[in-house]
Amino acid sequence: MKKALIVQGGGFRTGFSSGVLDAFMENNYNPFDLYIAVSGGAIATSYYIAHQPKHCFNAICFLSEKNRFVNFSNMLRWQPIMDVDVFYDISKKHYPFNREHAEQNIAGKQFAIVMTDKTNGLPFYGNPVESGWEETVIASCSLPFITKGKHTIKGIDYMDGAWGDPLPVEWAVKNGATEITIIRTAPANQKMKNLGLIILVKRIIEKMSQLEKHLRRIMLSTIEVLIL
């Protein structure tokens, strides 16, 4: 039997997920072989794997303070209103993430953080040990329009994982999960209000990617002509 834990994203609603995981830690409950986290859920799950209770919730409270994470005045400067790069300081200075302990606890298990490949809009299930823990978390939290919109890992641009696979149950089953625990940040019967917008943005991303490739071909052809 392979037990999986899925932690949904949800911005500041991740505070709920962190409360559930804090209760798990308080009772030394961690029977899972596979962990899958999306967006903000990746932060909560990382602290859970490292067994650092209260760190995620305290980090969320810290971020909620005025202009520390959300700054609407940035809109006047054509800058993103959320600074996801603040997670570097969170994990290293304010609420240090014990990566060594996390990697020890994950040995023989699997942890996938869902990101969305910006070139095609498809989900990518990143291994934070291989791709860099903070890097993978930031990529999974990089919302289009609201944050910087992308985070580059090994030459590939990724954005918020919820756009590619907001609740990766199917992927968990494909990877052998026979028992799945899901921590949601929205009611199971709640319909996604912005589903149409998400589909539209995915199509825009695909079209932009195609346009970018087309422009590159034109530029290369122009360079070849100039060289000849």
Confirm if 71 and 81 have CB atoms less than 8 A apart: yes
Confirm if 157 and 142 have CB atoms less than 8 A apart: no
- Residue 215 — pLDDT band, cuts 50, 70, 90? very low
HSE on the CB side for 30, CA within 13 Å?
A: 18
- Residue 119 — pLDDT band, cuts 50, 70, 90? confident
pLDDT in tens, 28-57: 999 999 999 999 999 999 999 999 999 999
* Cα(50)–Cα(88) distance, integer angstroms: 17
> Considering the entire predicted model, what is its pTM?
0.78
- Name residues whose C-beta falls within 8 Å of residue 47's C-beta, 6 or more positions apart in sequence: 18, 21, 53, 55, 56, 95, 97
* Cα(66)–Cα(134) distance, integer angstroms: 23
* Residue written as token pair 């195609």: 210
Q: Is 39 helix (H, G, I), strand (E, B) or coil?
A: coil
